[in-house]
């Protein structure tokens, strides 16, 4: 059988075997086709290959950096990876710009003018750490370590363990904000309530049908390259059908077998109606119904599975396709047809993301999506939703006795907010700080984060960062002089992911754990330091 992949491989082999006058092309061409080597376009010499891990997004794919004369010349994929098969997105290849960005901060900087005025002086690391350690010591000596707030974005793997789980916890602050609230907290919360843990993983290699609610996974995903490759291979090589519900014709919707436009925030109505069709027409799978053994769909905890099936069927009775059509705009006949197709396809993947769950009652929408996958027998079965398997590193545990962390409630939202049960409402931090009712941090530090732009109301964020009565002392840990760093009091120059050591633990759709070591491809520029090392030195002081 000739598949797209085999055709491309055949083309590559044919090209490598092509000759001028019957002579074989240089061996380097075949080597380049296989991957793992690169050559200078000027000197023709082989470049030094340095395996590492990307950090341009949360996917953290395995990469190889090609170094020439001490400078990074190119970033390519790691062809030995079972997870990515050597594929690499454009953003990952553009990571080279992080090192040589003209706005790199190469030395610690201290504000000397008014905040936001742009007047700075270069200071030594000793000066920077002495001042910062002095401020942190005073807070802890005064019994208020919680007034040190640390706000991070996409801090992962060993950096997260060393900084958050060791440094911050042993210092004694629990005032730690993240980026999750505005990203995927509703999805995480729903999966934790349903399955006990979060993270989607799908077996696209063996699926027969994909039903997608609001995920633009062919363009962006937390496991983008590996997910996009497997999904496209399934659609092209095996004619797997994918149906996408989305309010717009996204790139994923455009590549899908069918795009179903839907009104914003109404996916749950369609999911419930599909579930109603499946249960009322006895299209559910018995192995999928096992999940009801753990669900309280009846008042009696010990009720039989059969009783729970009857209870769920009765509960869903009112959620008809006609009811869903009025809410979502999706025709009732289309809902019925897709529900039956999903039930009969087997195995199938039911996927979702922000288009469906980043709305009011998004957690309930995600729980409904998981229920739909379960009753059709597509949970923990080949070709459906499968267990997320990743590397299991042994991290240092730190001191046995840790101080009990104290926390300002600035990460819990304002009174009346619908706070999430397991994840902070960190995108409301500046609103809460401005309100003042939950207290305010004396030292506000951010890392892998852009407080000006990461959340909405940019001008409001700028106003808070500029106000020294709200935030007395701010520290930006960043490789770049960006819009947020310009409004800080101190800048600690961080090493980029291409200049540092780390270990990574991203999950793989192949369900085979891969262990990645991030290592420096080039020497760190100027006086930049890995912030994990900085935290170790701060702890010593």
pLDDT tens for each residue of 312-321: 999 999 999 9
Tell me what the mean pLDDT of segment 512-516 comes to: 89
Which pLDDT score is estimated for 309? Answer: 86
pLDDT at 442 over 90: yes
Distance of CA 102 to the CA centre of its chain: 27
Per DSSP bridges, beta strands 120-122 and 109-111 are: antiparallel
For residue 167, give every residue at least 6 positions away whose Cβ sits within 8 Å of its Cβ, in sequence order, or none.
535, 536, 538, 539
Mean pLDDT taken over the chain: 88
pLDDT at 501 over 90: yes
- Quote the percentage of the chain above a pLDDT of 70: 89
Q: pLDDT confidence of 2, banded at 50, 70, 90? A: very low
Higher pLDDT, 427 or 271: 271
pLDDT tens digits for 365-403?
A: 999 999 999 999 998 889 999 888 888 888 777 787 778
pLDDT tens digits for 269-296?
A: 999 999 999 999 999 986 656 666 556 6
Which pLDDT score is estimated for 271? Answer: 98
Report yes or no: 32 and 38 within 8 Å, Cβ to Cβ. yes
Report yes or no: 369 and 283 within 8 Å, Cβ to Cβ. no
> Rounded to whole angstroms, how far apart are CA atoms 517 and 69?
23
Integer angstrom CA distances of residue 393 from 156, 530, 532: 13, 20, 17
pLDDT tens digits for 116-150?
A: 999 999 999 999 999 999 999 999 999 999 999 99
Q: Which residue has the tokens 């200078």?
A: 40
Report yes or no: 31 and 45 within 8 Å, Cβ to Cβ. no
pLDDT at 310 over 70: yes
H or E segment to which residue 309 belongs: helix 305-316
Tell me what the mean pLDDT of segment 28-53 comes to: 80
H or E segment to which residue 126 belongs: helix 125-141
The beta-strand segments (E) located in 390-507 are: 443-447, 473-478, 490-493, 502-504
Higher pLDDT, 294 or 223: 223
Tell me what the mean pLDDT of segment 27-39 comes to: 65
Give the per-residue SS3 of 347-358. Answer: CEEEEECHHHHC
Highest mean pLDDT among 222-236, 257-271, 344-358, 428-442: 257-271
Q: pLDDT confidence of 302, banded at 50, 70, 90? A: low
For the chain, give the number of residues: 541
Which pLDDT score is estimated for 28? Answer: 52
Which pLDDT score is estimated for 92? Answer: 95
> Rounded to whole angstroms, how far apart are CA atoms 169 and 255?
46
212 phi and psi angles, rounded to 5 deg: -115, 120
Which pLDDT score is estimated for 20? Answer: 38
Nearest CA among 430, 477, 491 for reference residue 168: 477
Tell me what the mean pLDDT of segment 176-182 comes to: 82
Task: Locate 469 and state its tokens.
Answer: 């009565």
Which pLDDT score is estimated for 9? Answer: 46
pLDDT at 420 over 80: no
Delineate the domains of the chain, giving CATH numbers in brackets: 25-99 (2.20.25.90), 109-184+394-496+526-540 (3.40.50.740), 200-375 (3.40.228.10)
Cα torsion 138, 144, 146, 150 to 10°: value is -10
Q: What angle do CA 301, 305, 306 make, to 5 degrees?
A: 125
Burial of 139 (C-beta count, 10 Å sphere; 0-12/13-18/19+):
buried
């Amino acid at each position: 059988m000739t598949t797209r992949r085999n055709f491309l491989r055949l083309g590559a082999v044919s090209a490598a075997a092509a000759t001028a006058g019957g002579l074989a092309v240089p061996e380097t061409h075949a080597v380049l086709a296989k991957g793992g080597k690169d050559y200078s376009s000027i000197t023709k010499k082989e470049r030094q290959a340095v395996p590492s891990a990307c950090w341009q997004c949360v996917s953290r794919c395995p990469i190889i950096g090609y170094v020439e004369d001490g400078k990074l010349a190119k970033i390519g994929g790691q062809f030995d990876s079972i997870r990515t098969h050597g594929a690499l997105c454009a953003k990952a290849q553009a990571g080279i710009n992080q090192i040589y960005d003209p706005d790199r901060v190469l030395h610690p900087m201290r504000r000397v003018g008014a905040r936001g005025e742009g007047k700075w002086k270069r200071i030594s690391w000793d000066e920077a750490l002495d001042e910062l350690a002095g401020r942190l010591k005073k807070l802890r000596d005064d019994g208020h370590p919680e007034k040190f707030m640390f706000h991070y974005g996409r801090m992962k793997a060993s950096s997260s363990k060393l900084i958050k789980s060791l440094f911050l916890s042993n210092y004694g602050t629990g005032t730690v904000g993240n980026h999750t609230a505005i990203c995927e907290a509703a999805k995480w919360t729903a999966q934790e309530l349903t399955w006990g843990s979060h993270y989607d993983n799908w077996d696209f290699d063996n699926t027969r049908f994909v039903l997608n609610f609001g995920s633009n996974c062919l363009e962006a995903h937390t496991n983008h390259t590996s997910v996009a490759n497997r999904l496209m291979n399934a659609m092209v090589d095996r004619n797997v059908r994918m149906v996408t519900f989305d309010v717009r014709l996204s790139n994923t919707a455009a590549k899908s077998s069918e795009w179903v436009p839907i009104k914003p925030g109404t996916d749950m109505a369609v999911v419930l109606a599909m579930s109603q069709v499946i249960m009322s027409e006895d299209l559910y799978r018995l192995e999928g119904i096992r999940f009801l053994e753990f669900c309280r769909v009846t008042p009696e905890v010990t009720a039989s599975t059969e009783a729970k099936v009857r209870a769920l069927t009765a509960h869903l009775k009112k959620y008809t396709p006609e009811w869903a059509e009025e809410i979502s705009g999706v025709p009732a006949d289309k809902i019925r047809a897709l529900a039956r197709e999903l039930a009969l396809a087997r195995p199938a993947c039911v996927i979702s993301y922000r288009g469906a769950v980043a709305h009011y009652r998004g957690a309930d929408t995600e729980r409904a999506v998981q229920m739909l996958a379960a009753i059709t027998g597509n949970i923990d079965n080949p070709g459906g939703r499968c267990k997320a398997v990743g590397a299991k590193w042994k991290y240092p545990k730190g001191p046995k006795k840790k101080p009990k962390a104290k926390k300002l409630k600035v990460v819990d939202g304002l009174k009346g907010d619908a706070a999430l049960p397991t994840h902070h409402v960190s995108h409301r931090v500046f609103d809460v700080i401005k309100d003042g009712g939950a207290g305010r941090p004396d030292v506000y530090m951010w890392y892998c984060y852009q407080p000006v732009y990461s959340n909405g109301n940019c001008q409001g964020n700028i106003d808070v960062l500029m106000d020294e009565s709200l935030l007395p002392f701010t520290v930006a840990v960043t490789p770049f002089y960006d819009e947020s760093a310009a409004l800080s009091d101190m800048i600690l120059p961080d090493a980029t992911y291409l200049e540092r050591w780390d270990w990574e633990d991203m999950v793989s759709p192949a369900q085979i754990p891969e262990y990645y070591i991030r290592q420096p491809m080039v020497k760190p520029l100027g006086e930049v330091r890995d912030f994990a090392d900085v935290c170790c030195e701060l702890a010593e002081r």
